Amino acid sequence: MADTHPLPNGNGSAVRPAEAHAEEPEENVFLFYPNLIGYSRVVLAVASLYYMPLHPRTCSLLYSISCLLDALDGMAARYFQQGTKFGAVLDMVTDRCTTTCLLVFLASAFPRWSIIFQGLISLDLASHYMHMYATLSMGGQDESHKKVDESRSWILKQYYSNNKVLFTFCLMNELFFIALYLLSFSSPIISPTLLKTPEDPASLIPGTPLAPKSATLFTNPWSAGAMEYARANKMDSVIPWTLAAISFPIMAGKQIINVVQLVKASQWLAQGDIEKRKADRARKGR
C-alpha cells in the first residue's frame, strides 16, 4: 500500500504530497461529429456509385447530398472544436475518390472524350497530393494544407482562406460533372445513340452491337433497372444543359487553380531541395 503519511519539508514541517491530477478520459477521434458526417458522405457516395449505371435520378440525388455534407462537416468541426488531421485527410480523400469515380463513368459514357476526363483525374490527384506533401515536408507536420502564404500564391491564398469561395468552387465543379452525367442519359446531341434510330435495318438484328440482347444488359429485361433506363432516355435535357452552362466557368477556374497548385507545390519542393543541397555542401566543406 502506498505511504500516505505527510513528509517533512525543508523546514522540518510536515506537508502532504500533491495528489495526482485526475487523468482525462481519452477521446475517440473516430467518433467526433465531423468524422461521423464524413463517414455518412462515404456511404452516400458508395450508394450513388451503385445506382450510377442505370438510375441517374437516384444517383444524382445521393451524390449531391454527399457533396453538400462537405460543408456541414467543416461547420461541425468549428462549432464543436473537433478539427483533426484525420478529419481533414478523410475529407480530402472522400472528395478525390468520389470525383474520380464520377469522371471514370463519364470517360466510359463519352469514349471520344475519355482522354479529357483521364487528364482531369490525373490533374486533380497530382495537384492535391503534391500540395499536401509539400505542405507537410516544407511547412511542418502541424501545418494545414489550407494555410497558404500570400507570398507563395495569391490565387491559392484567396481560394483556401475563404470557406465560401472554396465551397462554391468545389460545388460548381461537381455540379458540372453531374450535369454531364445526366446529359449522358438524356441528350441526343452528345449521346446520339440514345434516341437516334439506326437507318440501317440490318443493324437492328438481335445480337448486333447496336441492338444487343436484353440479357446482355440486364439480368431481367423487366427489372427496375431496365425500366429506369427507359425512363432516363426520356428525360428532359434542358435542366442539365442549364446547370452545365452555369457551372462550366467556375469548373474551368477550378482546373486552373489545380494547375497553379501543382506548379507552386513543385516549386516549393524544388526550393527545399536546393536549400538542402547547399546545406549538405556547406557541411562537407567544413
CATH number for the domain that contains residue 188: 1.20.120
Number of domains in the chain: 1
Scanning the structure block, which residue is given the C-alpha cell 446547370? 243
More confident residue, 169 or 15: 169
SS3 55: coil
pLDDT band with cut points at 50, 70 and 90 for residue 54 = confident
What is the model's pTM?
0.78
d(CA 181, CA 110): 10
Task: Let me know if 273 is a catalytic residue.
Answer: no
- The answer, yes or no, to whether residue 220 has pLDDT greater than 80, is no
Q: Using a pLDDT cut of 90, give the percent of the chain over it.
A: 51
pLDDT digits (tens, 9 = 90+) for 198-214: 455 554 454 455 545 54
Is 111 part of a structural domain of the chain?
A: yes
Q: Do residues 268 and 138 lie in contact, with contact meaning Cβ atoms separated by under 8 Å? A: yes
Residue 208: inside a domain, yes or no? no
Residues 6+ apart with CB under 8 A from 109: 181, 184, 191
Helical (H) or strand (E) element with 7 = strand 7-8
| pLDDT of 285 strictly over 50 | yes
User: What pLDDT, on the 0 to 100 scale, is given for residue 218?
Assistant: 46
Residue 211 within a domain:
no
Residue 261 lies in a domain: yes
Reply yes or no on whether the pLDDT at 178 is more than 50: yes
C-alpha cell recorded at residue 75: 461547420
Are 101 and 178 in contact by the 8 Å Cβ rule? The answer is no
User: What value does the mean pLDDT take over residues 227-250?
Assistant: 82
**226, part of any domain:** yes
Helix (H, G, I), strand (E, B) or coil at 211: strand
Question: Which DSSP category does 146 fall into?
Answer: T
- pLDDT for the residue 71: 87
Selecting among 95, 124, 142, 273, the annotated active-site residue is: 95
In a domain, 79, yes or no: yes
CA dist 249 and 244 (Å) reads 9
Q: Is residue 166 part of a domain?
A: yes
pLDDT band at 187 (very low <50, low <70, confident <90, very high): confident
Residue 225: per-residue pLDDT: 56
Task: Give the residue numbers spanning the domain of 49.
Answer: 28-192+222-281
**Residue 223 banded pLDDT, cuts 50, 70, 90:** low
Whether the pLDDT of residue 89 is over 80: the answer is: yes
C-beta of residue 124 within 8 angstroms of C-beta of residue 99: yes
**Torsion-angle region of 207 (φ positive above 0: left; ψ -120 to 50: alpha; else: beta):** left
CB atoms < 10 A from the CB of 191, how many?
17
Asked whether residue 201 is assigned to any structural domain, the reply reads no
In this prediction, residues 119-138 reach a mean pLDDT of 93
